[in-house]
Every structure is written in C-alpha cells, then in structure tokens.
Structure 1
C-alpha cells in the first residue's frame, strides 16, 4: 500500500510538471480522465500483485470501459509516468514503462506474434512516445529517447535516440539531446523533433 501511495504522489507531480494543460491538483484529480485511467491501473496492479485477480480484472475492465485505455494489470509502470489524453492507449501484460515517460493517445505497447512469455516492449526512463506510435515485441527503448507520432518500432532503440517512420529508423544519436530529459521542460520537446510542432 505504501508503494501504491508513493506511485500516485509521483504521478501527480509528473502530470503537474509535464502536462501543460494541467494547471493545478484540483483540475488533475477531478477532470483529468487519463490520470483517472492511470489511477485505476495502479489499483488493478496492486490487486494483481496481491493475487486478488477478480478484483484486479474488475478495475481493469472499468478502466477500459470508462476511459478507453487498455493497460493490463500485470504491466509494470514506474511511478511518475504521464499518459496524455489516454484514449486508445494499449499496454500489454509483459510491458514495462520507466518514470518520467510521456505517452500520448493511441500508443500501443504490444506483441508481434502470439506466444507465451515475454512478448511486449520495455520502455526506459525519460522517453517521449508520440501519438499513434506502435512499439511491438520484446524490444527495448533506451532512456531519453523520442518515438515519433505513428512510428512503428520493431527493433531496439538505443538511448538518446529519435525514432520515426514505418518501420521506424533511428535518425539521431546525440548524447546532447539527453539534456532535455533531465529537466524535461515540455515546451522544448518540439525543438528536439523537427517538424513536429510549428509556431
């Protein structure tokens, strides 16, 4: 229970820091549907760890119906993750997501084929995953990386990389780009990914 409360507190701080549309805690707690979906995942994951599987799947089902977010209770999401908008996000049962990661709508962390065992990706820390991106299979996305919108990632992405396209290719490996993820000022992300945002 202590770990659950710690995770929720870090999630709140991450949303306030990384989501420009969230201006205060009141707005986050009462009106942010993606935060509510993440909170229901935290509850279902807690019951899953306690082996109370019926309760875990009840909250899992509620999250899918209410917020259109399909995050399996067995998935491992570190504290301090932001799911922005949330609709259409799918995270498989053997996936993991590191802290300070931002996931936009329509992202899939899924499998490439039907099999047992490890079949979903591991996402590092300080990663930005653009809207509609598909990261498939038991691959790794390194820390401080950016996955472009609608990219289809089928192989490992090294740390400090930018991956775009179908299938995704690595456009940049520059350790200086990791600087944005240490402080992670949201407004500077578009400067790191040319063409994503125009003023």
Structure 2
C-alpha cells in the first residue's frame, strides 16, 4: 500500500510542473484523493460489499468532483490533473501510466449489464473535456485532444481529435517513449488541412481555364493555421 501511494505521488511530480513538493500533493490534489478512495472502494466491490463501495465512491465525488464507479479497473500510476467533472463508468478499464484531465467522461452506450465502457491502454493521455463512449479500446501511447468525442476504437500510437473523433496514427519513433505526451498544442487540424488542399486544387483548376474569373477571389489557403480573406461563405 505504501509503495502504491509513493507511485501515485511520484506520478504527480513527473507530470505536473505546478507540483512543488510531496506535502503540496498530499494536501492539495483532489485527483490523488479520488484514486486512493477508489482503490479502497474497488477492493470492497470485488469482495461483495457493493453498497458500501458505492457509498465511498459518492463520498469521493462530493469531496473531489470526480466520480469513479467502484467497479472500474484502474492500473498503476494513474493521474487525474485538476479533476473536476471526471466520470469513469462501471466497466471502464484503465491501464498503467494513464493521464487524464478535467471534464473527461468514460461513458457507456448500452443498457445491457455487460462490458459497455471504454478500455484505455497504457500511456494514454486524455485531454480536458474529452468524451470516450462505448465498449471501445484506445491503443497504448495514444493522445486524445481536448473536447474530442471518441466513439470508435483506435490503434496504438494515435492522436484523436474532433467531433466525432478523427484518428491519426503517429510514427513508431514518436510513441516509443514511456514519458506522457502532454503537448496539447501540437494537434493536427484534419478538417482545415483538407479544406486548404481543396481550395488550392480549385485555384489551380481555375488558372488553367483561360479567361475564367476565380469563384473565390477573397479566400486563400491557410497560413500556419490562420485563414485570410473577407468572404468565407464557400
């Protein structure tokens, strides 16, 4: 038990640059409290003391704003940063070294009393406000962008963004590190890049038509994610 507590504290020190000391983590991190109470409630749940386990989980919810069903399975070194608004359902399974931010939901999509919540494999980072729904699997070393809505499984080494979540498989070299990928600003814009490619293609076609006036004179392709023009009714 002491080793588990030490690992949980070290996870915070490794992943949150705002954490300055062990005492600060012990006194000021609700995500840590929620995980510790869950470990106890999960033990009671497996032992058949389900009502007490649910009561403990609701106590943790009132203290931290984090709701973890005692039936959920959580691996080592799980870190919930900030925490408020996190919901983890009964049949959710979370691997080792997973990082989760506030407002995340691991939700179910079925009324059947079967596996209906997500499985999150090792070393996954889930951004603030993301919703992962259904009995799907998020592969190891993946990163889910903030506010993404994920409704289908992804392979390992993926980045998932948007609504519904668009899956982009990363290179093996990027994903080999065991350190969590916390660079939330480095997210691709799949829709914007596709639109830019279409606009560029249309402009090239128009230039090939002699005497033809461009149908989108005020619109130009994106410049490092910034669009320029006066008329965007395209």
TM-score by length of 2: 0.75
* Distance in 1 between residues matched to 2:129 and 2:66, nearest whole Å: 13
Aligned to 2:103: 106
* Distance in 2 between residues matched to 1:12 and 1:74, nearest whole Å: 23
Q: Following TM superposition, by how much is the alpha carbon of 1:178 offset from its aligned partner in structure 2, in angstroms?
A: 0.5
- Asked if 1:166 is matched to 2:163, the reply is yes
- Between the two proteins, the alignment pairs up a number of residues equal to 189
Give the match's secondary structure for 1:126: coil
Alignment of 1:1-199 (within 5 A): 4-179=1-176, 181-184=177-180, 186=182, 189-190=183-184, 192-193=186-187
Contact 1:45 1:73 in 2 (8 A): yes
Contact 1:77 1:98 in 2 (8 A): yes
* Distance in 1 between residues matched to 2:124 and 2:130, nearest whole Å: 13
Contact 2:155 2:169 in 1 (8 A): no
Judge which range, 16-25 or 82-91, deviates more.
16-25
* Distance in 1 between residues matched to 2:61 and 2:179, nearest whole Å: 32
TM-score by length of 1: 0.88
> Unaligned stretches of 5+ in structure 1?
none
Contact 1:83 1:103 in 2 (8 A): yes
* Distance in 2 between residues matched to 1:52 and 1:42, nearest whole Å: 14
Describe the superposition over 1:114-172 as per-residue Cα deviations: whole angstroms up to 9, x where unpaired: 22200000001110100010000000000000000010101111100000010001133
* Distance in 1 between residues matched to 2:57 and 2:184, nearest whole Å: 33
Q: Following TM superposition, by how much is the alpha carbon of 1:58 offset from its aligned partner in structure 2, in angstroms?
A: 2.0
Contact 1:105 1:131 in 2 (8 A): yes
Give the match's secondary structure for 1:163: strand
Higher Cα Rg, which structure: 2
Contact 1:8 1:79 in 2 (8 A): no
* Distance in 2 between residues matched to 1:43 and 1:108, nearest whole Å: 21
In structure 2, do the counterparts of structure 1 residues 185 and 140 end up closer, same or farther at CA, with 3 Å as the change threshold? closer
Report which structure shows greater RCO (CA 8 Å, sep ≥6). Answer: 1
Q: Following TM superposition, by how much is the alpha carbon of 1:67 offset from its aligned partner in structure 2, in angstroms?
A: 1.2
Give the match's secondary structure for 2:106: strand
> Unaligned stretches of 5+ in structure 2?
190-234
